[in-house]
């Protein structure tokens, strides 16, 4: 299967980020390499991009698609960036992008368990070597923890009812597939309602919990002083309010401390034409900050 991948807000991010044509940059969430490939077309021969991703399969696809010696890839979380810079004897980068959305490869591949639209194993791991799956959470976590993640990570108004339905179902048989979970949530909601599937927030909550996404974002925001040079910039693309709130509050605090300057006072959204061509761009928000 060939996955299409359209890098979201690539031009806007490049305009903010690529100030040194022969600089050192980080793509903290390489995915299928769309942003990095776009950037390398604009950068000079001495430029270099360090690409990080927890998804080994996506990294392999990205390397083949980008096919550029200026890109070095690392099978690691973006929170390992300081360690890699130290190993390479590098003292900061000119810019870093953190695209916190799912790649098309992950979302469209039913074996990964992210999609409501296709049946597959209830996995949801970014890193397939990680021990915790969504199936484990659904079938072993206690009621209060299920309710908590649905409330906190999914902002799900039927969190209690869905958690109780999961507990009841798993006593009868394990919940192992995305279709089983989707159907369970549909029953809680008495069928589909509106444009958004009723299981969307449940799937989001499980994915965030499975991959400890919010903890990872908070850790990344806390290490920016370690990895960004003076004059360097950080761009973050978020796709739901929980992540965006973390980024917004952190950037605001950094700017108030006087060592950073906000380049986007308010989150920027994709243009209408981009959303029309790529529906997955519709919830994207871009924030950019520069170190003094």
Taking the CA atoms of 109, 115, 118 and 123 in sequence, report the sign of the dihedral they define: positive
Name every residue whose Cβ is closer than 8 Å to that of residue 175 and which is 6 or more positions away in sequence.
Answer: 122, 135, 138, 139, 166, 169, 181, 184
Specify whether 228 is located in the same domain as 97. yes
Work out the pLDDT band at 109, boundaries 50, 70, 90: confident
Work out the pLDDT band at 4, boundaries 50, 70, 90: low
Q: What angle do CA 160, 164, 166 make, to 5 degrees?
A: 120
Alpha helices in 112-240 (DSSP H): 134-140, 143-152, 159-172, 178-188, 200-211, 213-222, 224-227
In a domain, 110, yes or no: no
* CA-wise closest residue to 159 among 192, 124, 202, 196: 202
Specify whether 51 is located in the same domain as 138. no
Which token pair is 187? Answer: 């029953």
- Residues 135 and 121 sit within 8 Å (Cβ to Cβ): yes
Work out the pLDDT band at 278, boundaries 50, 70, 90: confident
Specify whether 119 is located in the same domain as 209. yes
Specify whether 232 is located in the same domain as 281. yes
Q: What's the total number of domains in the chain? A: 2
Name every residue whose Cβ is closer than 8 Å to that of residue 284 and which is 6 or more positions away in sequence.
Answer: 8, 9, 101, 237, 238, 239, 269, 270
**Cα atoms in the 13 Å half-sphere on the side-chain side of 116:** 17
In a domain, 5, yes or no: no
- Residues 292 and 259 sit within 8 Å (Cβ to Cβ): yes
Specify whether 34 is located in the same domain as 53. yes
In a domain, 192, yes or no: yes
In a domain, 41, yes or no: yes
> Tell me: the pLDDT tens digits for 124-173?
999 999 999 999 999 999 999 999 999 999 999 999 999 999 999 999 99
Number of DSSP helices (H) and strands (E) in the chain, helices first? 14, 7
Strand 260-262's sheet: what is its strand order? 71-75, 48-53, 24-27, 93-99, 228-238, 285-291, 260-262
Specify whether 79 is located in the same domain as 218. yes
Q: What 3-state DSSP class applies to 53?
A: strand
> Tell me: the pLDDT tens digits for 21-48?
999 999 999 988 999 999 999 999 999 9
What's residue 196's pLDDT?
A: 83
Q: How many residues does the chain have?
A: 292
CATH code, domain with 257: 3.40.50.150
Higher pLDDT, 290 or 106: 290
Specify whether 205 is located in the same domain as 224. no
Which token pair is 7? Answer: 């890098």
Q: Among 182, 213, 244, where does a domain finish?
A: 213
Could you tell me the residue range of the domain that residue 153 belongs to? 115-213
Residue-wise over 243-280: b if at least 16 C-beta within 10 A, else e?
Answer: bbebbbebbeebbeeeebebbbeebbbbeeebbeebeb
Beta-carbon neighbour count of residue 5 at 10 Å? 21
Cα dihedral 166, 172, 178, 179, rounded to 10, equals -110
194 pLDDT higher than 80:
no
In a domain, 4, yes or no: no
What's residue 192's pLDDT?
A: 67
Residue 261: phi, psi to the nearest 5?
-125, 130
CATH code, domain with 156: 1.10.150.170
What's residue 191's pLDDT?
A: 76
E-strand ranges in 76-158 read: 93-99
Name every residue whose Cβ is closer than 8 Å to that of residue 203 and which is 6 or more positions away in sequence.
Answer: 114, 116, 124, 178, 181
What average pLDDT does the structure give for the chain?
Answer: 94
pTM: 0.92
In a domain, 20, yes or no: yes
């Amino acid at each position: 299967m060939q996955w299409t991948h359209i890098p979201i807000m690539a031009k806007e991010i490049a305009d903010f980020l690529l100030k040194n044509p022969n600089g050192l940059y980080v793509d903290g969430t390489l995915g299928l390499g769309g942003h990095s490939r776009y950037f390398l077309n604009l950068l000079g021969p001495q430029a270099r991009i360090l690409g990080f991703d927890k998804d080994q399969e996506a990294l392999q696809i990205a390397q083949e698609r980008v096919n550029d010696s200026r890109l070095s890839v690392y099978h690691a979380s973006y929170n390992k960036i300081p360690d890699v810079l130290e190993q390479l004897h590098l003292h900061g980068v000119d810019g870093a992008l953190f695209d916190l959305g799912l790649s098309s490869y992950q979302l469209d591949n039913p074996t990964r368990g992210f999609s409501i639209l296709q049946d597959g194993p209830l996995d949801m791991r970014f890193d397939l070597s990680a021990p915790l799956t969504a199936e484990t959470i659904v079938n072993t976590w206690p009621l209060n923890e299920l309710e908590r993640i649905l409330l906190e990570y999914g902002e799900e108004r039927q969190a209690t009812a869905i958690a109780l339905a999961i507990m009841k179902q798993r006593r009868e048989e394990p919940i192992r597939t995305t279709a089983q979970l989707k159907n369970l949530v549909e029953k809680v909601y008495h069928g589909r309602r509106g444009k958004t599937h009723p299981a969307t927030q449940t799937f989001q909550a499980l994915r965030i919990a499975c991959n400890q996404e919010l903890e990872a974002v908070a850790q990344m925001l806390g290490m920016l002083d370690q990895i960004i040079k003076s004059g360097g910039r950080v761009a973050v693309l978020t796709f739901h309010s929980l992540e965006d709130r973390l980024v917004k509050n952190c950037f605001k605090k950094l700017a108030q401390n006087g060592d950073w300057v906000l380049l986007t006072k308010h989150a920027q959204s994709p243009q209408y034409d981009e959303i029309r061509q790529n529906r997955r761009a519709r919830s994207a928000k871009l924030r950019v900050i520069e170190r003094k």
